[in-house]
Structure 1
Amino acid sequence: MAVTRPTEGTEPARAPRARMTGPQRRQQLIEVARGLFAERGFEGTSIEEIAQRAQVSKPVVYEHFGGKEGLYAVVVDREMETLLEMVTSSLSNNRSLYRIQQVALALLTYIEERPDGFQILVRGESAGSGGDGDTRYGSLLNDAISQVEHILAGDFERRGFDPSLAPLYAQALVGMVSVTAQWWLDVREPPKEVVAAHLVNLCWNGLTRLEADPAIVEATES
């Protein structure tokens, strides 16, 4: 039986690429857009660039999301859902020290696994003109603050401290973790477990030796 050989100067025909399903294409566009929004921000990203990176035409992006604003909203909502699930699950059970450790570790783990998403949330841009900026990340921090406030209020009552001060301490603790997490996004060392342990070492041991009625220290002559 004769073997058919390709004509000289031609390449064997390639099998056509498998066509993506609607959900697969939608997920691909979300991932591509997430990288661009993290890199360039909402205003600096165009539908043209998203379509080009995804190797589709612009109408495909519009078909799935209606425009850049719709795509940005989906990206932010998904990141918030992921981060909120990680943080709230870390606060559900166990003793107070462990729960606060897990909050710090959950935020650092999210940053490690989804740095693009964290950049989008922290940047806090508004998907459209005239907005006051996206407050979803701030809302998430407020949720975490409320949870930590509840933990501290119970701890303060047991120790004879004023539980009405728990909101102040919760703001300080969550703020410290959030700011440190943003710093760690750039340096990525030491490992997240070490960072979480040191954060909680600072705040928890400080809470352990808490004064019931602190006052501003007066300057003294040397």
Structure 2
Amino acid sequence: MTGKERREQLISIGRAVFAERGFEGTSVEEIAQRAGVSKPVVYEHFGGKEGLYAVVVDREMLHLERVITESLEKGRSRVRIEQAVIALLTYVEEETDGFLILVRDSVPGQDRSYSTLLNTAVGQVSHILANSFTRHGLNPDAAILYGQALVGMVSMTAQWWLDERTPAKEIVAAHIVNLCWNGLAGMEADPSLSPEVTVAPTPTTAVGEE
């Protein structure tokens, strides 16, 4: 086995172990054992567990970021949102280990994470919504708020579906878009809370108080 092939083998095995046991529960010893090599081989390629984990996460992030970004590039606004939902659910279905790693573990010093990817998606969705808002006479400045809400809804549903796997992803996507799109279609130009909703005032700190 060449050095490149060994590296790819370790990445594949590490990905499976991280998904199964989490970052803290994974050891270099187990990865080496499953690969049929000694621990120094793992250290030679990645410098340790943290280095291998960083490579695994980076690959998953790039993969998921690519499929989400490509799904939002073309089509009518509703179609692009449908495509993005299906893209995420397909990733959950086909790359379950990768999704588990992204949503479960947060390791200090890790620059890229699932939350950073969601922030990127929020920016893309907000841009789509802002254009739609402008065409319909709505305030485009509110698009970022709705983008956060939509991406959050899709992300949380995807994590729920990770365990449920029913109904089929097409049905799940159709219901998500049905909720978000038909809700958007009936938006108010200047929404406000109902009169019966009581909002506590924001506490203020007097000058000189800590």
Instruction: Give the TM-score of the pair, scaled to structure 1.
Output: 0.85
Partners of 1:33 and 1:50 within 8 A in 2: yes
Indicate whether 1:155 and 2:132 are aligned: yes
Aligned residue among 17, 32, 54 for 2:35: 54
Q: Which runs of 5 or more residues in structure 2 are unaligned? A: 198-210
Match of 1:82 in 2: 63
Kindly indicate which of the two structures has a greater share of residues assigned to helix. Answer: 2
Q: Which runs of 5 or more residues in structure 1 are unaligned? A: 1-19
Q: Distance in 1 between matches of 2:168 and 2:181?
A: 20
Match of 1:27 in 2: 8
Q: Distance in 2 between matches of 1:38 and 1:125?
A: 13
Distance apart, 1:218 and its partner CA: 3.2
Q: Distance in 2 between matches of 1:76 and 1:218?
A: 47
Aligned residue among 24, 28, 38 for 1:43: 24
Partners of 1:41 and 1:125 within 8 A in 2: no
Q: Distance in 1 between matches of 2:11 and 2:84?
A: 27
Residue type of the alignment partner of 2:173 = A
Aligned residue among 87, 91, 94 for 1:113: 94
Partners of 1:79 and 1:121 within 8 A in 2: yes
Residue type of the alignment partner of 2:80 = R
Q: Note closer, same or farther for the CA distance 1:132–1:60 as it changes in structure 2 (3 Å cut).
A: closer
Q: Secondary structure of the equivalent of 1:214?
A: coil
Residue type of the alignment partner of 1:106 = A
Q: Secondary structure of the equivalent of 2:15?
A: helix
Distance apart, 1:212 and its partner CA: 1.1
Aligned residue among 142, 161, 164 for 2:141: 164
How many positions carry a matched residue from both structures?
197
Indicate whether 1:95 and 2:72 are aligned: no
Distance apart, 1:109 and its partner CA: 0.7
Q: Distance in 2 between matches of 1:109 and 1:32?
A: 22
| RMSD, matched Cα | 1.5
Share of identical aligned residues, percent? 65
Partners of 2:133 and 2:143 within 8 A in 1: yes
Q: Distance in 2 between matches of 1:163 and 1:152?
A: 8
Aligned residue among 209, 214, 218 for 2:186: 209
